[in-house]
Amino acid sequence: MDSVSRVKFVIFVVLLLAWSSAGFVFKPGQCPKVTGKTEFEKSRYAGVWYEYQKFHDAVGPGLDCTSYTFRNDIYSMRITKNGTVRADFFGNKFVMRKTSVRALITIPDYSKPSELNMVYAKISTSLDVNYIIQDTDYETYAVVFSCTQVQGLNIQYAYILTRVRGLAPPNLAQLESKLTEAGVDVSAFYVVNQKGCPDV
């Protein structure tokens, strides 16, 4: 290993340790075999979704009040993720910063219409970011999974989204069980704070 490779490896290890301490999910080996919903209807998925619970992610860590707005194009979807950073002061929440991130979602294989690729605007990355909609009823809940292979490890993100802010899906245990069956460790989930949120 030459000196440049050693420096890159050290930087990678430092980032890995930092991300691990922040709660990101790293596992050895291949990504879990999560598959997308069959007969996915892109037009019905459009609209506003709220994060109910999630794994820690690299886009907007520490955010609460997070929501997504999906808009349909002919061959793709556009997504806007909104959230806030709030401080707790004597039991009151104060908005420190609002944030908004945009992304473009495309369908690389039309035989698998719910297994998508996502590119965030203004974020340069060489990683292929997938966005797998494992399950949704379009009106109440959606289960989303993403996993990226890096240096013999996999980095996982999972989300359970709802149409109503802060309301758990009635079949939450079943949704988690389906992820577990696919090899996902759902103990990494935490409930997103959606109380007292400002208007987006």
CATH number at residue 98: 2.40.128.20
Residue pLDDT, tens place only, 82-127: 776 545 544 555 455 577 778 888 889 989 999 998 887 665 554 4
Is residue 84 a part of any domain in this protein? Answer: yes
Averaged confidence pLDDT in the chain: 79
76 token code pair: 């793709």
Smallest CA-to-CA distance from 48 within 75, 66, 21, 29 is with 66
Q: Into how many domains does the chain fold?
A: 1
C-alpha closest to that of 154 among 33, 52, 5, 35: 33
Residues 30 and 26: their CA atoms lie apart, in Å, by 11
Within a domain: 91: yes
Global confidence as pTM: 0.79
Number of DSSP helices (H) and strands (E) in the chain, helices first: 3, 10
- Residue 120 CA from chain centroid, whole number: 12
Q: List the Cα angle 171/32/62 in 5-degree steps.
A: 70
* Residue 182: domain span: 25-191
Give the number of other CB atoms < 10 A from CB of residue 44: 12
45-80 per-position pLDDT tens digit: 999 999 999 998 765 556 788 888 998 876 567 767
Q: Is residue 18 part of a domain?
A: no
How buried is residue 184: exposed, middle or buried, by Cβ count under 10 Å (0-12/13-18/19+)? buried
Instruction: Classify residue 198: in a domain, yes or no.
Output: no
SS3 breakdown of the chain: % helix, strand, coil, rounded to 5?
20, 40, 40
What is the number of other CB atoms lying within 10 angstroms of the CB of residue 178? Answer: 16
Quote the CA–CA distance of 184 and 25 in Å, as a whole number: 10
Q: Is residue 48 part of a domain?
A: yes
Among 49-63, 88-102, 151-165, 181-195, the range scoring the smallest mean pLDDT is 88-102
Longest dimension (CA), the chain: 55
